[in-house]
Chain A
Amino acid sequence: SQQGEEDPQALSIQEGENATMNCSYKTSINNLQWYRQNSGRGLVHLILIRSNEREKHSGRLRVTLDTSKKSSSLLITASRAADTASYFCATGLTGGGNKLTFGTGTQLKVEL
């Protein structure tokens, strides 16, 4: 079963614009992670945010977490064509070891 739901399912923007993806989840978590996947191959870890954190930055990425609303957002600033990929949020549940439950993903297309 999928715990997270990403919104939108698909997003198409122009190079240089910002891209925002949202993730909602259902149960209490201890951390939330974002991953990127190119062409249906392996996923690449982008950023991890813990349940006691509200915002985290890494390069052009900004992630926020609102545990009261059970939601997170991923912002990619100044997007590039190379950012074209699918983006997934994944939640680690309290007491679940490090087992992650992935969402349904957002397909981002950045056009030149």
Chain B
Amino acid sequence: GAGVSQTPSNKVTEKGKYVELRCDPISGHTALYWYRQSLGQGPEFLIYFQGTGAADDSGLPNDRFFAVRPEGSVSTLKIQRTERGDSAMYLCASSLDRGERPYTFGSGTRLTVV
């Protein structure tokens, strides 16, 4: 596609529920990144994929968070047993490859856990 698409743009869920956030990167971009941003802070790294595999998942805060990219394009970030502290903007970005490249970001998913 022309840009990075994230759905939904907003998600409100109850504490304890499961959520899935979707990212559709730019066609042909092999690297895909997930970040989380709290109000007034910079984006915080969660995980990045090169192709189908997770090249670095060191930013995932705990085992409630999981991400997949089964066909090397669309990625899904999954959060189990959501907590109020998970409320944040979740940003996805893609780049052409894993070299020194600029990122193209999506518009983000604003997750609110009530």
Contact = CB atoms under 8 A, between A and B. Distances in A.
Contacts of B45: 99-102
A56 to B, nearest CB: 13
A98 B105 contact: no
A62 interface: no
Interface string B44-78: 11001010000110000000000000000000000
Contacts of B102: 33, 45, 48
Nearest to B55: A97
B48 A99 contact: yes
Contacts of B93: 43
B105 A104 contact: no
A36 to B, nearest CB: 11
Interface stretch (B14-22, B35-43, B79-87): B35-43
A104 B42 CA distance: 5
Q: Which size class do B's interface residues fall under? A: 20 to 34
Contact of B107 (A31, A41, A97, A102): A41
A76 B46 CA distance: 30
A20 interface: no
Interface in A20-66: 30-31, 33, 35, 40-45, 48, 50
B98 interface: yes
Nearest to A6: B42
A2 B40 CA distance: 13
Nearest to B48: A99
Interface string B89-103: 101010101111111
Which 4 pairs across A and B sit closest by C-beta, in order of nearness? A102-B42, A42-B105, A45-B102, A97-B98
29 contacts: A1-B44, A4-B42, A35-B103, A35-B105, A40-B39, A42-B105, A42-B108, A43-B43, A43-B91, A45-B104, A48-B100, A48-B102, A50-B100, A88-B42, A96-B56, A97-B55, A98-B48, A98-B95, A98-B99, A98-B100, A99-B56, A100-B33, A100-B45, A100-B103, A102-B35, A102-B42, A102-B45, A104-B41, A105-B42
